[in-house]
Structure 1
Amino acid sequence: MTSGPSIDTPAAVGAIIRARRQDRGLSQQTLAVRAGVSRKFLVDLEAGHERAELGKTLAILAALGVSLEATDPIPKGADHDPARRDYAQTFARLIGSRDFEFAIKMLADYATASLKAGRPLLQRSPRLKDPHWSAALAGITNYTAHRLGQPAPSWTRRIKPLTEAWMPAESYRNIREPMKQLTRSETPEELAAMNVFIRERSLGTA
């Protein structure tokens, strides 16, 4: 009897769950309701969040018919490997489908993967139609380049700062003024320079 693939990282769990959910044509909200968890928890889990609670994770796996002895192969390829992911394509797809909550998780994923790779992974302009997300990616690219002691890719200099302050999280939920003030105070200067405000801790790189 051959054993199934090893599920030994949060990213592997998230990849299996996201792939199985999409194969079944389920939205994140539908699966979250079936498993009795919040959509936010499922979003975090699919993004490979390392602090996901085991009990809730097992409930989601059970709702999908997946156990820790999964017979599903762990998804491979660039889409499931942060170091090889085509972030330009990923963001174009997520923004086009208005999956802003997951897009914000991918901002953090992009920052973390770039730091691990030792260079900003977006060396060329993502050419997004939405100036808000273009500014956010330029700011994060500048931020990671600065953290690595490198010059930022030249495309970031062609992206203009937004004319009004923007918080990506406002794409899908209301943010109260105290949290807005905290976010502004904890946003890296490279992002603030683009008039985009995300707490550094939310980038998962601090």
Structure 2
Amino acid sequence: MTSGTSINTPAAVGTLIRARRQDRGLSQQTLADRSGVSRKFLMDLEAGHDRAELGKSLAVLAALGLSLEATDPLPRGRDYDPERRDYAQTFTQLLADRDFEFAIKMLADYATASLKAGKPLLQRSPRLKEPHWSAALAGITKYTAHRLGQPAPSWTKRIKPLNEPWMPAESYRHVREPMKQLTMSETPQELAAMNVYIRERSLATA
């Protein structure tokens, strides 16, 4: 009998799926196409979001004393643990690949992981070449520091606000005017000060 790995959280399932996909050299779109699902659904699944109903399904299984098992062990290491992930490297790679959609998911992941860890996880500048994303990370770092009642890391003070308003979502899709207005009205002041606009509800779940 094969010894399996107990799967009891959405994050564990997402970690396993993302690791296996990467091992097989598949893009998210390719896997989504092969699975008959949208890329957005797959991204949510890999990110461990329970909005895909996985969280509720696992809760029912747990109530029955059941769990999912995988023949592969869960991958370990910094890349698979949000609180230990090298976010500077993660964003450098995602932006080099022009994977802006998943980069936005990682902005939320960074904010949530920082709040859970009790400190902004980017204590040093990520040194990104793209000023828009540098401003976004600086704003999120200030936002998480404020929520935690801490001073923001010194590197955030060196990042200048953008000259024009920017929404990361516009990196890969058109944002209609009503959604722009809603996003701007619900953006934390730390991000708005950098001229970057992301709804607070899209950032932090911790």
TM-score (norm 1): 0.91
The alpha-carbon distance between structure 1 residues 173 and 115, as it changes in their structure 2 partners (threshold 3 A), is same
Q: Verify: 1:69 aligned to 2:65, yes or no.
A: no
- Identical aligned pairs, as a percentage? 84
- 2:27 is matched with 27
d(CA) in 2 for partners of 1:133 and 1:21? 26
- CA shift, 1:53, in A, is 2.9
Query: Counterpart of 1:33 in structure 2: which amino acid?
Result: D
d(CA) in 2 for partners of 1:32 and 1:204? 26
Compare 176-185 and 20-29 and name the one that shifted more: 20-29
Deviation digits for residues 47-97 of structure 1, max 9, x if unmatched?
11122234xx9xxxxxxxxxx431111111110101111110111011111
- Which SS does the other structure have where 1:51 is aligned? helix
- 1:100 is matched with 100
- CA shift, 1:2, in A, is 4.5
- 1:13 is matched with 13
- 2:123 is matched with 123
Question: Which contiguous aligned blocks of 4+ residues in structure 1 show a shift greater than 2 angstroms?
Answer: none
- 2:40 is matched with 40
Query: Counterpart of 2:121 in structure 1: which amino acid?
Result: L
d(CA) in 2 for partners of 1:23 and 1:197? 35
- 2:62 is matched with none
TM-score (norm 2): 0.91
Query: Counterpart of 2:32 in structure 1: which amino acid?
Result: A
Query: Counterpart of 2:107 in structure 1: which amino acid?
Result: L
Query: Counterpart of 1:8 in structure 2: which amino acid?
Result: N
d(CA) in 2 for partners of 1:159 and 1:148? 21
- CA shift, 1:124, in A, is 0.3
Deviation digits for residues 150-179 of structure 1, max 9, x if unmatched?
100000000000001000011111110000
d(CA) in 2 for partners of 1:13 and 1:171? 28
- 1:162 is matched with 162
Alignment gaps of 5+ in structure 1: 58-67
d(CA) in 2 for partners of 1:203 and 1:47? 13
d(CA) in 1 for partners of 2:174 and 2:50? 26
Query: Counterpart of 1:108 in structure 2: which amino acid?
Result: A
Alignment gaps of 5+ in structure 2: 58-67
- CA shift, 1:119, in A, is 0.6
Q: Verify: 1:49 aligned to 2:16, yes or no.
A: no
